[in-house]
């Protein structure tokens, strides 16, 4: 009798564990994280050829580690460089990205088929982005949009190790979804002392890359575009604290000054974003992606033939 109860209880527990494992995998996309690899020049970059389903969102990276479909040789190309703001992270479905919306909307309202490519990853600064541009070239595009925030003014490459240290930069998948849930989310949040590196600390290490030099990537993009007869547009995204105050901080003002001194077209959103379009202080939700796309589209409507 006791053996039968033990067997029944064990079978029930195993069944629940199995069902939870299946639920986490197929409903929330556990064990299907976006994977990253270290890079001796770029610091890190998304692994190529990823087609993920994560937290109910479709995440796509092409063979060149762009968060875009493969380059269509029949399309006119616009290059969009940036960090997690335009990348969207796993919280943003491919169809909800500003770059996807722009590709569709510009194509509908112009005589050209357009691909607005998304070349980005979390915490990339202009210098990271330029290294990608230098390595792969501009794919015969005629214009580049560089999406930045105020902190990018001094957010320089420093090669702090984040791959497989920071929870958002894994190079390989977990074997079990339940273990991933516990190791990546439950333990760091509720028992941070059990992990040698918790999410908050490693994020702070990665983001605090400031030194005394204005990020060289801005000048490098400017020189590259001049040398290759490309149009450069800087989009300065306001952090939520700046949006609430109504003005950019000192670092943002330096980016604005750089754009004005060098006659670079500048798009700002400080007076156009709304608090319900932010996910946190910097990142934008789906509404924010639509707003960003709308502001860039307005620019493209006026300057279509110049950027293509």
Mean pLDDT across 80-108: 96
| DSSP classification of residue 225 | H
**Tokens (6 digits) for 66:** 């762009």
Q: Place 199 in a pLDDT band, splitting at 50, 70 and 90.
A: very low
* Predicted confidence (pLDDT) at residue 91 exceeds the cutoff of 70: yes
Digit-coded pLDDT (tens) for 251-302: 999 999 999 999 999 999 999 999 999 999 999 999 999 999 999 999 998 9
Residue with tokens 């984040």: 162
The H-or-E segment that residue 78 falls in is strand 76-82
**Tokens (6 digits) for 116:** 């607005």
Contact 67, 117 (CB under 8 A): no
pLDDT of residue 193: 79
Lowest mean pLDDT among 122-126, 156-160, 226-230, 290-294: 156-160
**Tokens (6 digits) for 120:** 């980005």
* Domain boundaries along the sequence of the chain: 2-30+164-206, 50-158+209-307
Vertex 16: Cα angle to 11 and 19 (nearest 5): 125
pLDDT of residue 195: 65
Mean pLDDT across 4-17: 81
**Tokens (6 digits) for 197:** 């590196």
Chain centroid to CA 148: 11
**Tokens (6 digits) for 22:** 């299946």
Mean pLDDT across 84-107: 96
Rounded Cα gap, residues 138 and 88, in angstroms:
22
Fold of 50-158+209-307: Rossmann fold (3.40.50)
Q: Place 196 in a pLDDT band, splitting at 50, 70 and 90.
A: low
Digit-coded pLDDT (tens) for 117-138: 999 999 999 999 999 999 999 9
pLDDT of residue 308: 83
pLDDT of residue 207: 45
- Percent of the chain scoring above 70 in pLDDT: 94
Counting every residue written for the chain, the total comes to 308
Q: What is the mean pLDDT of the chain?
A: 92
Rounded Cα gap, residues 38 and 45, in angstroms:
7
Bridge-based pairing state of the strands 143-149 and 231-237: parallel
Rounded Cα gap, residues 198 and 187, in angstroms:
9
């Amino acid at each position: 009798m006791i053996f039968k109860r033990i067997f029944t209880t064990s079978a029930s527990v195993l069944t629940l564990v199995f069902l939870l494992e299946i639920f986490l995998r197929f409903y929330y996309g556990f064990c299907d994280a976006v994977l990253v690899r270290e890079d001796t020049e770029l610091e890190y970059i998304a692994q190529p050829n990823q087609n993920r389903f994560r937290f109910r969102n479709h995440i796509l990276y092409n063979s060149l580690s762009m968060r875009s479909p493969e380059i269509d040789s029949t399309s006119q190309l616009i290059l969009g460089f940036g960090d997690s703001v335009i990348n969207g992270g796993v919280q943003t479905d491919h169809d909800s990205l500003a770059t996807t919306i722009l590709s569709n909307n510009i194509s509908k309202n112009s005589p050209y088929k357009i691909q607005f490519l998304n070349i980005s990853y979390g915490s990339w600064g202009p210098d990271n982005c330029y290294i990608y541009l230098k390595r792969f070239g501009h794919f015969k595009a005629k214009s580049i949009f560089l999406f930045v925030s105020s902190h990018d003014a001094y957010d320089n490459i420093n090669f702090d190790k984040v791959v497989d240290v920071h929870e958002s930069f894994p190079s390989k998948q977990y074997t079990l979804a339940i273990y991933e849930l516990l190791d990546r989310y439950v333990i760091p949040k509720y028992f941070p002392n059990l992990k040698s590196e918790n999410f908050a600390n490693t994020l702070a290490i990665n983001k605090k890359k400031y030194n005394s030099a204005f990020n060289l990537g801005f000048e490098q993009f400017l020189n590259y575009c001049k040398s290759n007869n490309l149009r450069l547009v800087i989009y300065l995204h306001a952090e939520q604290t700046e949006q609430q105050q109504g003005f950019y901080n000192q670092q943002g003002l330096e980016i604005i000054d750089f754009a004005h001194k060098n006659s670079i077209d500048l798009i700002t959103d400080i007076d156009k974003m709304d608090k319900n379009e932010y996910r946190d202080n910097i990142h934008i939700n789906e509404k924010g992606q639509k707003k960003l796309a709308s502001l860039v589209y307005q620019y493209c409507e006026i300057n279509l033939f110049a950027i293509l």
